[in-house]
């Protein structure tokens, strides 16, 4: 049985998560299928959101890494300046990745780097006027689109989903973070 093709050009799933779980129970009794109806929709939604965000980013003229960098600086409040160390901490990427992102954004005129005042190796990164304008446009485009995508849920449903996702995220992190 062939699936239909979605607007993204990707084949749509042929079976619902419930049908997938039932098929596994039928074909392999005893196989743990309790997660399928939770994890599969999360994966599918993640891909749909990622595809849509990619389109919104292209429309806004920004890539995901630059959006992340500029967003963190913009959310920090006036004077829209953070150290590279703080940027790495808030974006959860390595110092090397932050250095590359900052260098590229600086070449594009979106940020400026300057020596910090707290130590020889401290570097502060500030939004330029052009960077500020780009993030203002981009955040409205991306978050406006995402608000539209979750608009089918009532305020109470969104609140319930947020609470459940927070609980699931905390538990999954606890179970998957390995110290070593």
- Does the pLDDT of residue 12 top 50, yes or no? yes
- Does the pLDDT of residue 115 top 90, yes or no? no
Residue 8's pLDDT is what? Answer: 66
Residue 92's pLDDT is what? Answer: 82
Instruction: Tell me what the mean pLDDT of segment 21-42 comes to.
Output: 94
Residue 121's pLDDT is what? Answer: 81
- Does the pLDDT of residue 6 top 90, yes or no? no
- Does the pLDDT of residue 34 top 90, yes or no? yes
How confident is residue 148, by pLDDT bands cut at 50, 70 and 90? very high
Average pLDDT, the chain: 90
- Does the pLDDT of residue 43 top 60, yes or no? yes
Alpha-carbon distances, residue 33 vs 27, 46, 165, 169 (angstroms): 12, 20, 20, 20
Residue 3's pLDDT is what? Answer: 45
**pTM of the shown model:** 0.77
Instruction: Tell me what the mean pLDDT of segment 130-149 comes to.
Output: 94
Instruction: Tell me what the mean pLDDT of segment 89-98 comes to.
Output: 89
Residue 122's pLDDT is what? Answer: 85
- Does the pLDDT of residue 179 top 80, yes or no? no
- Does the pLDDT of residue 2 top 50, yes or no? no
- Does the pLDDT of residue 59 top 70, yes or no? yes
Residue 1's pLDDT is what? Answer: 36
DSSP string, the chain: -PPPBPTTSSBPPSS-HHHHHHHHHHHSTT---TTHHHHHHHHHHHHHHHHHHHHHHHHHT--HHHHHHHHHHHHT-TT-EEEHHHHHHHHTS-HHHHHHHHHHHHHTTSEEEEE-SS-TT-EEEEE-HHHHHHHHHHHHHHHHHHHHHTTTS-HHHHHHHHHHHHHHHHHHHHHH----
């Amino acid at each position: 049985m062939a699936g239909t093709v979605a607007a993204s050009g990707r084949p749509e799933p042929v079976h619902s998560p419930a049908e997938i779980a039932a098929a596994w129970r039928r074909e392999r009794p005893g196989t743990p299928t309790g997660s399928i109806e939770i994890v599969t929709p999360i994966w599918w939604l993640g891909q749909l959101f990622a595809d849509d965000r990619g389109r919104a980013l292209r429309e806004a003229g920004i890539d995901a890494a630059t959006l992340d960098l500029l967003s963190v600086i913009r959310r920090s409040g006036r004077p829209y300046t953070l150290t590279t160390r703080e940027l790495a901490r808030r974006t959860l990427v390595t110092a090397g990745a932050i250095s590359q992102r900052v260098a590229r954004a600086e070449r594009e005129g979106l940020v400026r780097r300057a020596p910090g005042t707290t130590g020889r190796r401290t570097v502060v990164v500030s939004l330029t006027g052009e960077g500020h304008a780009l993030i203002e446009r981009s955040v409205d485009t991306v978050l406006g689109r995402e608000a539209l995508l979750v608009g089918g849920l009532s305020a109470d449903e969104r609140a319930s989903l947020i609470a459940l996702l927070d609980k699931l995220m905390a538990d999954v992190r606890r179970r998957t973070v390995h110290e070593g």
